[in-house]
């Protein structure tokens, strides 16, 4: 399995990203230990120059992670032909116990990366770099995630055994099966819908509140995180069914296919970017009281928030439209 080019590419990326983060973390440790903004010593000047390298490395690392998340799903999709019982990406992720954790880790890295970059961007606007130690300590928390992703993904690909009969979305997301995925699918569409719109209203509301009143930024981030999870649940539970126009096909990946007009991209892209921006806004909002950052926070946090709100809004509109314009009628069954 390792000789598949897409798999080689994925392993290459996670190995290189791990190295980049280790390098950045090494520099970060030096910064945490020796940083003294008031000193004009050569060591301090060198550390300040290093911060440019770290920012560049991390921007690239997190951008690559995003592309590798896409490639990971594409690859799972394309490998579905090679496993008995796999008809789409779900089946391939299910080939062993490492598939789903890899996917979730990739998503987590993307979101933590976005939040970190937002913090980094903010800190670079304070003339005394007030958050410099904090941000490198936070960076040290991301490193284990990236290393774990490398390990888990490697296990996932190494242990792919074409003889294993895997269960695909039909089996995994069917309401009769057991497990988290099945519970998500068997969730009453009615409750899923309430959860989707309920959390959506809460997130949007807190965002608007922050945008207007400049308070409750972290709350907006948290509610956005919750509504992100609920949005995924709702996609599995009922939105996808309307897109497939099939009352039992719960699958979060098949909607990415051309047969469904790539509807998945229109749902996922606004959702992911909105959530990432919301995390960024929540990350920088609390630093308003640091004198050197006040101005930057006042300018950037609402800006991020408004863009996030618009993207969330777009997501809810598209999801609603997908349900309303579908030929599938469940009005007697569900509602």
Partner 1 sequence: MIDFFRKQKYLIDFTLASLLRRKGKNFGLLFVYTLIVFMLASVMLFTHALRHEAGIILQQSPEIILQRMVAGRHALMPADYLDRIGRLRGVVEKKGRLWGYFYDPAVKANYTMMVDETKGLSTTETIIGAAIARTRGVGIGDWITFRSHDGEAYSFLVTDILDTVSELVSADLVFLSEKAYRVTFGVPDGYFTDLVLSVRNSREVQKIAEKLSLKLPDTRPILREEVLRTYDSIFSWRQGIVFVLLAGAVLAFVIFAWDKASGLSAEEKREIGILKAVGWETGDVLRMKFWEGAIVSLAAFILGYLAAYAHVFYGSASLFEPVLKGWAVLYPDFQLTPFIDGMQVATLFFFTVFPYTVATIIPIWQASITDPDAIMR
Partner 2 sequence: MFIELTDIKKAFNQGRPNEFWAIQGVSLKIEPNKVTCLKGASGSGKTTLLSMIGCLSRPTSGRIQLGDRTISGLPERFLTDIRRHTFGFIFQKFNLIQGLTVLENIMLPAYPLAPDHKVLVASARRLLDHFNLSSKADNPVEWLSGGEAQRVAICRALINDPKILIADEPTANLDTKLSREFMGLIDELCKSGKTILITSHDPVVFDSPVVNRVVEMCDGLLVQE
DSSP 170-213: HHHT-TTS-SHHHHHHHS-HHHHHHHHHHHHHHHHHHHHHHHHH
Closest separation between CB of residue 279 and partner 1, Å?
A: 21
For 237, which DSSP code? Answer: I
- Residue carrying the six token digits 């630093």: 287
Nearest to partner 2 of 8, 37 (CB atom): 37
Nearer to partner 2 by Cβ, of 33 and 190: the residue is 33
Distance CA 227, CA 225 (A): 5
Given a contact cutoff of 8 angstroms between Cβ atoms, the answer to whether 28 and 136 are in contact is yes
Q: Which does 224 bind (CB under 5 to 8 A by kind): partner 1, partner 2, none?
A: none
Angle at 332 between CA 328 and CA 335, to 5 degrees: 90
Does residue 315 touch partner 2 according to CB under 8 A?
A: no
* C-alpha 272 chain-centroid distance: 6
Which of positions 83-122 make contact with partner 1 (CB under 8 A)? Answer: 83-84
Of 4, 30, 59, 124, the one binding partner 2 (CB under 8 A) is 124
Residues 45-84: x/- map of binding to partner 1 (CB under 8 A)?
A: ----x--xx--xx--x---x--xx-xx--xx-xxx-xxxx
List the interface residues with partner 2, window 35-94 (CB under 8 A). Answer: 37-38, 40-43, 45, 48-49
> Which lies closer to partner 1 via its Cβ, residue 2 or residue 212?
2
The position carrying tokens 């920012």 is: 55
What are the structure tokens assigned to 288, written together? 């308003």
Asked if 5 is part of the footprint of partner 1 (rule: CB under 8 A), the reply reads yes
Decide whether 50 or 133 has the Cβ nearer to partner 1. Answer: 50
Choose among partner 2, partner 1, none what residue 177 binds, the Cβ cut-off being 5 to 8 Å by kind.
Answer: none
């Amino acid at each position: 399995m390792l000789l598949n080019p897409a798999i080689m590419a994925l392993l290459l990326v996670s190995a290189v990203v791990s190295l980049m983060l280790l390098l950045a973390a090494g520099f970060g440790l030096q910064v945490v230990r020796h940083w003294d903004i008031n000193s004009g010593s050569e060591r301090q000047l060198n550390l300040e120059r290093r911060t440019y390298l770290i920012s560049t490395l991390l921007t690239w690392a997190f951008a690559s992670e995003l592309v590798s998340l896409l490639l990971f799903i594409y690859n799972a999709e394309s490998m579905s032909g090679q496993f008995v019982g796999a008809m789409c990406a779900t089946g391939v992720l299910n080939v062993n116990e490492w598939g789903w954790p890899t996917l979730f880790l990739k998503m987590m890295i993307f979101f933590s990366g976005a939040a970190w970059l937002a913090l980094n961007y903010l800190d670079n606007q304070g003339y005394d770099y007030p958050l410099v130690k904090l941000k490198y300590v936070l960076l040290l928390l991301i490193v284990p995630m990236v290393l774990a992703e490398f390990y888990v993904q490697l296990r996932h690909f190494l242990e792919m055994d074409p003889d294993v009969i895997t269960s695909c979305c039909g089996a995994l997301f069917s309401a009769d099966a057991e497990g988290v995925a099945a519970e998500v699918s068997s969730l009453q569409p009615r409750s899923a819908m309430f959860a989707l719109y309920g959390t959506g209203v809460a997130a949007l509301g807190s965002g608007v509140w922050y945008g207007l009143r400049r308070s409750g930024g972290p709350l907006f981030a948290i509610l956005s995180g919750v509504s992100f999870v609920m949005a995924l649940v709702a996609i599995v539970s009922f939105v996808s069914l309307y897109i497939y126009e099939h009352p039992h096909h719960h699958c979060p990946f098949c909607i990415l296919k051309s047969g469904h007009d790539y509807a998945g991209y229109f749902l996922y892209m606004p959702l992911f970017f909105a959530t990432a921006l919301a995390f960024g806004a929540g990350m920088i909002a609390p630093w308003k009281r640091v004198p050197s950052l006040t101005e930057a926070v006042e300018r950037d946090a609402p800006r991020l928030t408004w863009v996030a709100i618009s993207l969330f809004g777009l997501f809810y509109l598209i999801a609603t439209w997908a349900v309303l314009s579908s030929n599938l009628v469940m009005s007697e069954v569900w509602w």
